[in-house]
């Protein structure tokens, strides 16, 4: 059970900070949610506020050892999914298995993988959605306009470059808290 959607705090927090919502609430029950731009620690607080404002129960991956007492219960309540990060455990396969056993799952993946600039996004968000047979929904925080929200679902087509072109168009002009750290919307696999 998540602590976030049950509270109305998200709308109040966003209103007090001068932020607005854009885009409709996703209607899918299971999808990979891209969290971008990711340039600041503030992004997590805003992500949680937007999830609350849209009454969405989001989940995220975290190292399995973090779920031990005394704080493990809090990570679970916030939507944490324990994953084993070692050579014998493929993250894509683990998350596809979680999707397979879930009727409702919104898996947040910060595609940039870092708050610093990188020439490439990590491809995990795409590979998880592809293997699990679920759509990708882009979300955004635009600090310049103080707006955040969601875009239309993207079903991985197998045409990686074409799908990434759709995401490049969606994220064009979006500004993170530190715009110079927003990574290129590009995967190494495209080269």
* pLDDT tier, 86 (very low <50, low <70, confident <90, very high otherwise): low
Q: Residue 117's pLDDT is what? A: 86
pLDDT of residue 89 exceeding 70, the answer is no
Q: What is the pLDDT of residue 19?
A: 96
Please identify which residue in the block is written with the tokens 């971008």. 36
- Record the tokens describing residue 97, joined without a space: 């298995």
pTM: 0.87
| Alpha-carbon gap, residue 121 to 187, rounded angstroms | 5
The DSSP code for 85 is -
Q: How confident is the model at residue 75 (pLDDT cuts 50, 70, 90)?
A: confident
pLDDT classification of 82: cutoffs 50, 70, 90: confident
Of residues 84, 44, 47, 82, the one with CA closest to residue 61? 82
Where would I find the beta strands (DSSP E) of 57-116? 59-63, 80-83, 105-109
Judged by DSSP in three states, 20 sits in strand
135 Cβ partners below 8 Å, 6+ apart? 28, 31, 32, 129, 153, 154, 155, 156
Q: Tell me the torsion sign for CA atoms 14, 15, 18, 24.
A: positive
4 falls in which pLDDT band (50, 70, 90)? very low
Tell me what the pLDDT averaged over the chain comes to: 88
């Amino acid at each position: 059970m998540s602590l976030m959607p049950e509270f109305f705090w998200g709308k109040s927090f966003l209103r007090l900070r001068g932020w607005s919502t854009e885009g409709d609430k996703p209607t899918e029950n299971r999808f990979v949610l891209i969290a971008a731009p990711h340039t600041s620690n503030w992004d997590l607080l805003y992500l949680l506020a937007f999830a609350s404002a849209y009454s969405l129960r989001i989940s995220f991956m975290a190292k399995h050892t973090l779920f031990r007492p005394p704080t493990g219960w809090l990570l679970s309540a916030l939507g944490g999914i324990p994953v084993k990060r070692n050579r014998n455990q493929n993250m894509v396969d683990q998350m596809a298995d979680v999707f397979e056993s879930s009727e409702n799952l919104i898996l947040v993946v910060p595609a940039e993988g870092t708050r610093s600039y990188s020439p490439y996004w990590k491809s995990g968000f795409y590979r998880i959605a592809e293997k699990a047979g679920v759509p990708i929904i882009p979300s955004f925080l635009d600090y310049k306009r103080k707006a955040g929200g969601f875009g239309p679902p993207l079903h991985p087509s197998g045409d990686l470059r074409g799908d990434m072109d759709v995401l490049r168009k969606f994220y064009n002009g979006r500004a993170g808290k530190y715009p110079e750290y927003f990574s290129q919307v590009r995967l190494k696999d495209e080269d």
